[in-house]
């Protein structure tokens, strides 16, 4: 990680974990054949409604970080993603997290996640205890 992501003590600033989770979720969707851009062009906006992070160990300046992302739960209008943030060199679990997203349409009212997207988002058992 970059020096700019740390505080004066050399620890990663806590809000950066949210950025990493967002990046992992974006890549998770992309790897399965969906992108936020394409979804929005089709009229579906996935909006975060809830975030939970449990910090376990501090990430420090110059650590190589791995963020794993998976779908924990999927419904017609909501998807819940799980995250494991690890120190890549040692596999130490630094943080776990979860985000809940709902689908909105162009009018910003509740909508359904398109069926073709739901088919790409297969829920998976949690690989770590959240």
Q: CA-to-CA distance for 35 and 125, rounded, in angstroms? A: 23
Which residues are CB-neighbours of 130 under 8 A, at least 6 positions away? 52, 54, 82, 96, 97, 98
For 3, 55, 61, the CA distances from 130, given in Å and listed in that order, are 28, 10, 24
Instruction: Choose the catalytic residue: 7, 50, 73, 126.
Output: 7
- Write down the residue that tokens 């620890």 correspond to: 11
Establish whether 62 is a catalytic residue: no
Write out the catalytic residue numbers: 7
């Amino acid at each position: 990680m970059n020096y700019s992501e740390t505080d004066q003590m050399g620890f990663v600033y806590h809000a950066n974990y949210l950025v990493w989770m967002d990046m992992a979720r974006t890549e998770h969707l992309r790897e399965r054949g969906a992108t936020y851009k394409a979804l929005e062009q089709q009229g579906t906006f996935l909006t975060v409604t809830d975030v939970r992070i449990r910090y376990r160990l501090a990430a420090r300046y110059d650590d190589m970080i791995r963020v794993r992302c998976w779908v924990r739960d999927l419904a017609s209008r909501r998807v819940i993603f799980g995250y494991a943030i690890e120190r890549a060199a040692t596999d130490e679990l630094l943080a776990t997290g979860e985000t809940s997203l709902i689908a909105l349409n162009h009018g910003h009212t509740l909508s359904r996640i398109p069926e073709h997207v739901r088919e790409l988002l297969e829920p998976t058992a949690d690989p770590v205890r959240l």
